[in-house]
Structure 1
Amino acid sequence: MEQLINQAMPTFNLLFGPNPDWKQVFLTLLTPLFLGATLVEYLHLKKVGKSFFFKKNEVVTNMLLGGSYQAMELVWFALFVSAFMEWIYTFRIATIEVTPLSFAALLFGIEFCYYWFHRGSHRVRWFWCAHVVHHSGENMTTTTAMRQSLFYAVNLHQIFWAPMLIIGFPVWAVLLAYGMNLGYQYFVHTQAVDKFPKWFEFIFNTPSHHRVHHGRNDEYIDKNYGGVLIIWDRLFGTFEPEVAPVEYGIVRQPKTNNIWTLNTHEWRDMFSDALKPGPMLQRLKHIWAPPEWVRPDLMDQSNLRDKIN
């Protein structure tokens, strides 16, 4: 076994580097499982006459977005993220040995951090600028999980994992736990599964819960932020059950499959809003306010235009 590992290390280091992003390593290694699950999903939906959920252009776009996201994550980790997270780790209050029990605790902690990262990605426009890519798909299949932004790598969302680093979990373990959390989520992006038993639906994030999260129906917007668990949504008042049929996509839907436009349109709009004349604090607020926030002076101008027209 040791000989096999030694033989494999040069290839591993070539692909991921000597100090890899274990999140991306884990997700890359799971890629065959992801693709196999997508094939099973497609064959099942075809059998029941619902393969129309797979829109060819959108599936291709999802895969291109996923591939570019993976490449950008690997490059930016090597250039910046690794050093940034290691720097945060220097402020740890303890040094925790990674054992099966402590890693289970880390998985639970990462899920709690993920809830707030995900909620922040909807309620703070800076983070929404990256996350919006994931929500811009107008269908739901497992390939939707691949629909990710180039700019996750550079928007400093790593601060949401800082509590686990400061507690004392090493960087590699935090990244691996985060990767496992994301790996689970691949399988909740589907319409091929209705609902699981009530006890499971009560505790875990499921396809039903996550379909709600991807809805642009008024009652579904900004609900069900959990990654693996749904308990935080129940505790913090962001849970919504799936009742009405889900309308997928975002309120201001970009009608394009151009991956550059999908990655940049919300950044362009945010900076455009911030550059419009007005009090500096109000202009800067576009960065941290919710995505739907409109500056009072711009709202007055918008209302005046509506009256004139």
Structure 2
Amino acid sequence: MDAVTSFFMPWLQTFFGDNIDWKQVFLIGMTPLFLLAFVIEFAVQKRRKNTASFKLKEIFANLSLGASYQLFEALVWVLFTAAVFSWAYGYRLMDIPVNAWTVVPIYVAVELCFYIYHRSSHRVRWFWTAHVPHHSGQVMNFTTAMRQSLLNAFVGIWIFYIPLCLLGVPPVVVMFCLAVNLAYQYFIHTETIGKLPAWFEAIFNTPSHHRVHHGRNPEYIDKNYGGTLIIFDRLFGTFEPEVAKAEFGITQQINSYNPVVLNLHEAVDMMRDVMAPGPVAQRVKHLIMPPDWEREGHTPIRTWSVTPHSIAIKPKE
């Protein structure tokens, strides 16, 4: 182990400096396992003669979005985010030890922060601009988990985890717990796995619960925000069980596989809505209101082609 550490640490410090982004290091290190799981998933579905969820252009878009996300997350960590976390930890209220007694409560606290972030990403358009690429896929397989936005690095989602550092949890621990949380979520982006035992479904987020989260069925929209656990959804009234088959995608379906369009379309539309004529107080609401909010007298701007979900079509080949 020491030999492995001594080999990799100089490389990591060359890129990250003293504040290594262990979240991205962990996720990048997990990538071979992620890809292996995807190969197994495809083999299982092919044996079942059910490969409709494996469209080459969509998979390529997923991988492209994932690569840009990891690159920009790491870059912004080096330039900005690491300093913010270090600053916050410098003003911590206490020193919280990390040991066998505290690791589970810390992890649950990170899960709660993720729940709040995730719910905000659906209900505040500013954050939705960075989350919408993840939901714009119209099929579900493991690579859908990689369908992330480079805007994650810029919209400020780090603010949801700063309270833990102010409380006294070391930033490296917060980031590692978040990495484990995100890695777990990779394996719930699938139609290959049905419902798991009832006790597991009651506590943990599962493929069944997460298919609901990605569904644009009216009863499924804005449900099941949990990362590893489903307990906060049950506690705060956002839980919905999987009954009807989920229809994946977004209510105003973007008709593109282009990673640039997928990354930026909602942000561009949001800013064009903000800049459109009208009272300033109403224009600013486009930043903080839910994505489907409309101001009186203004027609929402769509820069690229979209299709309402009731007649949604697949992007052009």
Which TM-score bucket, shorter chain as reference? over 0.9
Aligned to 2:46: 46
Deviation at 1:51, TM superposition (A): 1.6
Aligned to 2:225: 225
SS at match of 1:52: coil
Contact 2:16 2:78 survives alignment (8 Å): no
Change (3 A) 1:168 1:262: same
SS at match of 2:253: coil
Aligned to 1:210: 210
**TM-score (normalised: structure 1):** 0.94
Structure 1, unmatched stretches of 5+, are 300-309
**TM-score (normalised: structure 2):** 0.91
Q: Does 1:117 align with 2:128?
A: no
The aligned amino acid for 1:206 is T
Aligned to 1:303: none
Aligned to 1:186: 186
Structure 2, unmatched stretches of 5+, are 300-317
Deviation at 1:3, TM superposition (A): 4.3
What is the CA–CA distance in structure 2 between the aligned matches of 1:224 and 1:3, rounded to whole Å?
A: 42
Deviation at 1:16, TM superposition (A): 4.7
Bigger shift: residues 9-18 or 151-160: 9-18
Bigger shift: residues 3-12 or 199-208: 3-12
What is the CA–CA distance in structure 1 between the aligned matches of 2:174 and 2:253, rounded to whole Å?
A: 34
What is the CA–CA distance in structure 2 between the aligned matches of 1:7 and 1:243, rounded to whole Å?
A: 50
Q: Does 1:68 align with 2:68?
A: yes
SS at match of 2:254: coil
CA displacement 1:180-199 (0-9 Å, x = unmatched): 11010000000000100111
SS at match of 1:205: coil
Aligned to 1:307: none
Aligned to 1:283: 283
The aligned amino acid for 2:267 is W
The aligned amino acid for 2:114 is Y
Deviation at 1:95, TM superposition (A): 1.4
Change (3 A) 1:17 1:51: farther
Q: What RMSD over aligned residues (CA atoms) do the two structures have, in Å?
A: 1.5
Aligned to 2:144: 144
SS at match of 2:196: coil
SS at match of 1:298: coil
Q: Does 1:28 align with 2:28?
A: yes
What is the CA–CA distance in structure 1 between the aligned matches of 2:154 and 2:54, rounded to whole Å?
A: 31
What is the CA–CA distance in structure 2 between the aligned matches of 1:270 and 1:113, rounded to whole Å?
A: 25
SS at match of 1:195: coil
The aligned amino acid for 2:237 is G
Deviation at 1:290, TM superposition (A): 0.4
CA displacement 1:34-81 (0-9 Å, x = unmatched): 111111101000000112211010001100110111011111100011
Bigger shift: residues 29-38 or 4-13: 4-13
Aligned to 1:81: 81
What is the CA–CA distance in structure 1 between the aligned matches of 2:191 and 2:215, rounded to whole Å?
A: 13
CA displacement 1:248-302 (0-9 Å, x = unmatched): 0001111111111111110111111111111111110110000000012326xxx
Deviation at 1:17, TM superposition (A): 4.1
Deviation at 1:164, TM superposition (A): 1.0
What is the CA–CA distance in structure 2 between the aligned matches of 1:7 and 1:152, rounded to whole Å?
A: 30
What is the CA–CA distance in structure 2 between the aligned matches of 1:290 and 1:101, rounded to whole Å?
A: 39
Number of positions where the alignment pairs a residue of Structure 1 with one of Structure 2? 300
Q: Output aligned runs, 1:149-168, within 5 Å.
A: 149-168=149-168
Deviation at 1:5, TM superposition (A): 2.8
Aligned to 2:133: 133
SS at match of 1:185: helix
What is the CA–CA distance in structure 2 between the aligned matches of 1:4 and 1:239, rounded to whole Å?
A: 43
What is the CA–CA distance in structure 2 between the aligned matches of 1:112 and 1:10, rounded to whole Å?
A: 34
Deviation at 1:88, TM superposition (A): 1.9
Q: Does 1:296 align with 2:296?
A: yes
SS at match of 1:253: strand
Aligned to 1:306: none
What is the CA–CA distance in structure 2 between the aligned matches of 1:56 and 1:248, rounded to whole Å?
A: 17
Query: Identity of aligned pairs, percent?
Result: 50
